[in-house]
Each structure stands twice: as C-alpha cells, then as structure tokens.
C-alpha cells in the first residue's frame, strides 16, 4: 500500500483534511512561499513564466516552473512577499495558472501553453 501526501496552497487557510497524511508527522516538504529565489523569468505572449528555486523543497532540487495569468508582473508577485507554487482561489494572493516539471521539456510545455491560450 502506498503513502501519499496532500499538497495544498499556503494561501488556502480554510483547507483542512482530518485524514491527511501530515497527521503521521512526516516532515513538511512543501515549499516555503517566503523562501525562494527567482532563477529565470520571461513574459511570453503576455503570460509570466518563472523558474523558481525553493530551498526547503526536495523534489527536483526545489525548482518549479510556474505560469502566471496575463499581465501579471514579477513586481506584483515580489510585492506580495510570497510566491506559493500551489493553485489557490484566494483573491488576496496571485497564484499560478499552471506548473510544469523544471526541465527543458517543462519549459517548452509552459511556452506552448502560453502560445496556445493567448
């Protein structure tokens, strides 16, 4: 039988699942949205694509490729102080609209998405 973790946005404070695996006291491997380094950014067809490294995250060396909605700027994201790679409906924070594996293939997919939905 496999073990899974529930991944959620730190922006969604109302999220609570009493059956979630975190009750088993596994270490929290979710990225800390306040501890990040922006490695690369590009506006592509009015969408913002970021490669971010979260030092607290262990998968893919903490790197994430995130796509943000049209006309979202890097300045807006940095101004909110946190960049959570998880999807959220919280209107007080800007969340990504897509996330891809941090590889060359993932970057191509991110750009393809932006081109397709523009």
Average pLDDT across the chain, whole number: 85
* pLDDT-wise least confident of 20-24, 53-57, 66-70: 20-24
Q: What share of the chain is helix, strand, coil (3-state, %, to 5)?
A: 25, 20, 55
Residue 85: count other Cβ atoms within 10 Å of its Cβ: 21
- The answer, yes or no, to whether residue 49 has pLDDT greater than 50, is yes
Report the range out of 24-28, 56-60, 92-96 with the highest average pLDDT: 92-96
Burial (CB < 10 A; 0-12, 13-18, 19+), residue 12, is: middle
Percent of the chain whose predicted confidence (pLDDT) is above 70: 76
**Whether this model's pTM surpasses 0.85:** no
């Amino acid at each position: 039988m496999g073990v899974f973790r529930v991944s959620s946005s730190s922006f969604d404070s109302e999220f609570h699942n009493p059956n979630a695996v975190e009750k088993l006291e596994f270490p929290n491997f979710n990225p800390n949205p306040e501890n990040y380094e922006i490695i690369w950014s590009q506006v592509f067809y009015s969408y913002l694509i970021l490669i971010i490294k979260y030092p607290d995250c262990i998968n893919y060396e903490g790197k994430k490729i995130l796509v943000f909605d049209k006309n979202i700027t890097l300045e807006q994201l940095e101004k909110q102080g946190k960049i959570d790679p998880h999807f959220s409906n919280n209107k007080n924070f800007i969340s990504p609209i897509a996330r891809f594996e941090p590889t060359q293939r993932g970057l191509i997919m991110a750009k393809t998405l932006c081109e397709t939905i523009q």
